[in-house]
Amino acid sequence: MYRYDEFDAAFVNERVAQFSDQVRRRIAGELTEDQFRPLRLMNGLYLQLHAYMLRVAVPYGTLSSKQMRMLGHIARKYDRGYGHFTTRQNIQYNWPKLRDIPAILAHLASVEMHAIQTSGNCIRNVTTDQFAGAAADEIIDPRPVAEIIRQWSSIHPEFTFLPRKFKIAITGAPNDRAAVKFHDIGLMAQTNGAGDVGWAVYVGGGLGRTPMVGKLINGFVPHEHLLAYLESILRVYNRYGRRDNKYKARIKILVHEEGLENIKGQVEDEFSHIRGGVLTLPDAELDRINSYFAQPAYVDHGVVSVDVEREKILDPAYGRFLENNTFPHARSGYTSITVSLKPIGGAPGDATAEQMEAVADIAEKYSFDELRVTHEQNLVLPHVAIADLRAVYDALGEAGLADANAGEITDMITCPGLDFCALANARSIPIAQDISRRFAAPERAKEIGKLKIKISGCINACGHHHVGHIGILGVEKKGTELYQITVGGDGTEDAAVGKILGPGFVADEVPGAIERLVDAYIARRTTEDETFIAAYRRLGDAPFKEALYGNG
Amino acid sequence: MAAISSVLSAPAPKHDKLKALGILALNGMFDEMDAEAVLRQAVDELLPGDIAMVSSFGADSAVLLHLVSLVDKNLPVYFLETGKHFVETLDYVETLKQRLGLTNVIALYPDSADLARFDPDGTLWETDPDSCCHIRKTEPLEDVLSGYGGWVTGRKRFQTAERGVLPHFELTSDDRIKVNPLAYFTNEDVEAYKARHDLPEHPLYGEGYKSIGCAPCTSAVAEGEDPRAGRWRGRDKRECGIHFDFNGSIAKPVSQSSLHLFKDGAFKADPWKAWAEGDEPADVRYTHVPVSVFVEHRAAFLASPHPIGLQVNPGEKVEDIEGDLARFSSVAINFRAFTDGRGYSSARLLRERFGYEGELRAVGDVLTDQIPFMRRCGIDAFVVTNKATREALEKDALAEVPLYYQPIGERHEVPAGTRPFLRRPE
CB environment A156-187: b (16+ within 10 A), e (fewer)? bbbbbbbbbebbbbbbbbeebbbbbbbbbbbb
For A32, which residue in chain B has the nearest alpha carbon?
Answer: B388
Q: Is the Cβ–Cβ distance between A129 and A135 less than 8 Å?
A: yes
pLDDT of the residue at B162: 52
- Using alpha carbons only, how large is chain B's radius of gyration in Å? 24
Smallest Cα distance from A240 to chain B, Å: 7
Of the residues A398, A426, A445, which one is the last residue of a structural domain? A398
Report if residue A535 sits inside a domain: yes
Report if residue A254 sits inside a domain: yes
- A437 with A521, same domain: the answer is yes
- A271 with A357, same domain: the answer is no
Of the residues A363, A398, A433, which one is the last residue of a structural domain? A398
Q: Is the Cβ–Cβ distance between A231 and A193 less than 8 Å?
A: no
Residues 457-486 on A with a CB inside 8 Å of B are: none
CA gap A328, B212 in Å, rounded: 86
User: What φ, ψ does residue A435 adopt, rounded to 5°?
Assistant: -65, -40
Report if residue A106 sits inside a domain: yes
SS3 B17: helix
Report if residue A300 sits inside a domain: no
Candidate list B64, B77, B240, B383, residue with the active-site label: B240
- At a CB cut-off of 8 Å and minimum separation 6, what does B81 contact? B107, B108, B109
pLDDT at B426 over 50: no
Q: Domain with A143 in it: what CATH number?
A: 3.30.413.10
Does B377 count as an annotated binding residue?
no
What's the length of chain B?
A: 426
Nearest 5 degrees, angle CA B75-CA B79-CA B82?
A: 165
pLDDT of the residue at B6: 37
- A248 with A316, same domain: the answer is no
Q: Is the Cβ–Cβ distance between A242 and A249 less than 8 Å?
A: yes
Report if residue A122 sits inside a domain: no
Q: Mean pLDDT in runs of 10 for chain A (552 residues)? A: 86 90 86 80 82 92 97 96 93 92 94 92 95 96 96 94 96 96 97 94 94 97 96 98 94 97 98 93 89 92 84 93 96 96 93 98 97 96 96 97 96 91 91 96 95 95 95 92 95 94 95 97 96 97 95 71
SS3 A390: helix
In a mutagenesis test of the A interface, which of B369, B370, B386 is the best target, namely the one with the most A β-carbons within 10 Å? B369
CA gap A474, B189 in Å, rounded: 73
Assess A238–B contact: CB distance below 8 Å, yes or no.
yes
- A285 with A356, same domain: the answer is no
- A381 with A423, same domain: the answer is no
**Total domain count for chain A?**
4
Report if residue A119 sits inside a domain: no
Q: Which domain holds residue A55?
A: 6-110
Report if residue A302 sits inside a domain: no
- A457 with A498, same domain: the answer is yes
Return the closest-CA partner of residue B199 out of B278, B100, B104: B100
Within 13 A of B251's CA, how many CA atoms are on the CB side? Answer: 26
- A542 with A433, same domain: the answer is yes
- Residue numbers in B near A162 (CB within 8 A): 341
pLDDT at B1 over 50: no
Smallest Cα distance from A231 to chain B, Å: 11
Report if residue A161 sits inside a domain: yes
B397 pLDDT band (50/70/90 cuts)? confident
Smallest Cα distance from A205 to chain B, Å: 22
Assess A246–B contact: CB distance below 8 Å, yes or no.
no
Its sign, for the CA torsion A72, A75, A78, A81, is negative
Assess A2–B contact: CB distance below 8 Å, yes or no.
no
B241 pLDDT band (50/70/90 cuts)? very low
CA gap B1, B94 in Å, rounded: 31
Nearest 5 degrees, angle CA B3-CA B7-CA B13?
A: 140
Facing residues of A187 across strands? A170, A201
- A144 with A283, same domain: the answer is yes
- Residue in A155, A238, A273 closest to B401 by CB: A155
For A227, which residue in chain B has the nearest alpha carbon?
Answer: B406
B191-229 pLDDT tens trace: 899 999 999 988 888 777 777 777 777 666 555 555 565
Within 13 A of B191's CA, how many CA atoms are on the CB side? Answer: 7
Nearest 5 degrees, angle CA B231-CA B234-CA B236?
A: 80
What residues of B are in the A interface, CB distance below 8 Å? 314, 338-342, 344-346, 348, 353, 369-370, 372-374, 376-377, 388, 399-410, 418-425
SS3 B227: helix
CA gap A134, B257 in Å, rounded: 66
B22-64 pLDDT tens trace: 666 677 777 778 899 899 988 988 888 889 988 888 877 899 9
pLDDT of the residue at B165: 67
- A381 with A467, same domain: the answer is no
Could you give all domains of chain B from N- to C-terminal order, each with its CATH number?
Answer: 2-230 (3.40.50.620), 261-422 (3.40.50)
Q: Which one-letter amino acid corresponds to residue A538?
A: R
pLDDT of the residue at A105: 93
Q: Do B341 and A14 touch (CB under 8 A)?
A: no
Q: Do A162 and B403 touch (CB under 8 A)?
A: no
- A417 with A394, same domain: the answer is no
CA gap B352, B407 in Å, rounded: 12
pLDDT of the residue at B19: 58
Of the residues A94, A110, A126, which one is the last residue of a structural domain? A110
CA gap A353, A399 in Å, rounded: 11
Q: Domain with A35 in it: what CATH number?
A: 3.90.480.20
User: What φ, ψ does residue B366 adopt, rounded to 5°?
Assistant: -105, 115
SS3 A350: strand
For the question of residue B240 being annotated catalytic, the response is: yes
- A152 with A271, same domain: the answer is yes
- A369 with A419, same domain: the answer is no
B415 pLDDT band (50/70/90 cuts)? low
The pLDDT of B12-20, averaged and rounded, is 49
How would DSSP label each residue in A158-199?
A: SSSS-SS-B-EEEESSSS-SS-GGGSSEEEEEEE-TTS-EEE
